[in-house]
Amino acid sequence: MDLDRLRNISIIAHIDHGKTTLSDRVLELSGTVDARDMRAQYLDSMDLERERGITIKLQSVRLDWRDHVINLIDTPGHVDFGYEVSRSLAACEGVVLLVDAAQGIEAQTLANCYLALENDLEIVACMNKLDLPAADPDRCAEEIESVLGIPAEEVLRISAKTGDGVPELLDAVVDRIPAPVGAADDTLRALIFDSHFDQYRGVVSSVRVMDGTLRSGQKLRFLQAGASHQAEEIGIRSPGPIAVDTLGPGETGYLIAGIKDVGEARSGETVTDAARPAEEALEGYRDPKPMVFCGMYPVDGDQFPDLREALERLRLNDSSFTYEPESSGALGFGFRCGFLGLLHMEIVRERLEREFDLNLIATAPSVAYRVHTKGGEVVEIDNPSEMPDGAEVEAIEEPFLNVTLLTPSDYTGTLMDLCQTRRGEMDKLEYLSPERVELRYKIPLAEVVTDFFDQLKSRTQGYASLDYEPAGDDVSDLVKVDVLLNSQPVDAFSMIVHRTKADDYGRRMCEKLKELIPRQLFDVPIQAAMGGRIIARQTVKAKRKDVLAKCYGGDISRKRKLLDRQKEGKKKMKSIGRVEVPQEAFVSALKLDE
């Protein structure tokens, strides 16, 4: 194919600014999808995406416009899936930056725009949702010019819902975004930017050819994995898969090479010709650093091998989460998983349960700490049960985030209050316009992973937006709170918290467990301990048999004797009795959203 007729673009924007709706209109207007086959969120193939109304996975599609071919990638908007966005940008020469004309620039708009600038991509900015009564395109265009430096007159005005202005947007893509470069007779180098596992065909990879030509039946070498495979089928998505004989430089498509081992076709892998391999691999992707950790255990212990296989396959499709085996006295064998954020964790857990038919328990989310011991060692822990003994700990470092909040100025006070109660320190307060404020805070990650986002939205009636990036580790006054049942510690309920919040966590956990643990034949004390000191206690009262039922009247000493004998029996039972915590109690006590 003539390279001048080819354009590779991504659509980037904040959550809910209309990326997927714009993709729908583009597919319709270019005739890629018949009107009778058209449905909303056409490119969102997962049930989860359609139910939640969000994009989780990037999707690529090829379409024709004005004798040009456009390879379009629809990306997610949520901050937890920023890794998907950075992967898709590596396969493009330009981006369409979408801004909601009613809401203006939001936190993720800025973050994604800076990502595009870092990759030296051409930006076509446009305002969406002009059909809304609340749209204020002039104010929005001024905001784009003052914050992003894109001239207001160059910002296109469209409505992805009605299709107004979308043909002009596609014309601008053809005119403004540069064509890819590369030569068809060079040594083949293609970048895998996404993969998924098909039960019948093995690994299906999305590839962007950088140099050379990829041919069907060609013997290929995967440079990082060091494996060789034959290309069984190559093709394009338009939007369904269409097999082709060759993919030239600059083209995007899919590759099936009969790969059964999911480790051989990870995202960022370079594919080259086995007979004439490239000398150096493409740059690929930086491995993202997990921010939030939790344990995942099968409810039924027999499902452990199934969980391992499910995690391997899902990691191929989403390489931004990590896992390693661990065991817990209370929950048996499972995996310690690392995620980019809470929504990411929720989605992965739900995908494991749906796509692989598993029934899982997830422990409370925690973050990775660095513990300095008095012996001069530095221990990295992401599970509270690994914490060294309190007497040996010199200091504990926890990860911090640089958080950017964009909010209408009416809510500035309530957001400052929220950040300060979460141990945040203000870095900057700046007015982008008389109605909009940008706040920057440094906040511990542990304070953000629980319900920070929910609180942010409820305090600002949904108007504020959030973006964050890691800000390194810093020393904090942290302690480990253990939960004891019948004097036995239960590792699944342990938590590392700030000293000022330890009493509150201990009290809440004891009260919650008192409601959830069934009554035994003896009293069960539930205690929260910090070091060797008990900071909270509740008791689950014993079931009692009425041993006095057969006594009517008579001497009190006879009743006393029966009660004493019952008390002795309960004492003996308590010394040998174990408290079985039902699975439902674990699930409820570790509920993510509470």
For the annotated binding site for GTP, the residues are 16-21, 128-131
* 518 DSSP 8-state letter: P
CA 261 to CA 455: how far, in whole Å? Answer: 43
> Given CA atoms 481, 485, 486, 488 in this order, what sign does their dihedral have?
negative
> Token pair 């255990």 is at which residue?
297
Report the chain's C-alpha Rg in angstroms.
29
Tell me the three-class secondary structure of 195-213, residue by residue: EEEECCCEEEEEEEEEECC
Q: How far is CA 397 from CA 240, 291, 390, 445, 496, in A?
A: 50, 14, 14, 11, 12
Pairing between strand 436-444 and 488-489?
A: unpaired
496, 478 Cβ separation under 8 angstroms: yes
- Compute the residue count for the chain: 594
CA 104 to chain centre: 25
431, 363 Cβ separation under 8 angstroms: no
Backbone angles phi, psi at 145, to 5 degrees: -65, -45
Backbone angles phi, psi at 475, to 5 degrees: -75, 135
CA 174 to CA 195: how far, in whole Å? Answer: 28
Say what angle helices 137-148 and 107-118 make with each other, to 10 degrees: 50
Which residues are annotated as part of the binding site?
Answer: 16-21, 128-131
DSSP secondary structure letters along 374-434 = TTS-EEEESSGGGPPPGGGEEEEEEEEEEEEEEEEGGGHHHHHHHHHHTT-EEEEEEEEET
The pair of structure tokens assigned to 310 is 């499910």
- Of residues 421, 390, 397, the one with CA closest to residue 494: 390
Pairing between strand 292-298 and 332-339?
A: antiparallel
76, 20 Cβ separation under 8 angstroms: no
CA 207 to CA 246: how far, in whole Å? Answer: 13
Backbone angles phi, psi at 551, to 5 degrees: -90, 125
CA 16 to CA 446: how far, in whole Å? Answer: 27
Per-residue burial over 338-369, b = 16 or more CB atoms within 10 Å of its CB, e = otherwise: bbbbbbbbbbbbebbeebbebebbbbbbbbbb
> Token pair 């109304």 is at which residue?
53
CA 283 to CA 274: how far, in whole Å? Answer: 19
DSSP secondary structure letters along 552-590 = -SS-HHHHHHHHHHHHHHHHHHHHH---PPPHHHHHHHT
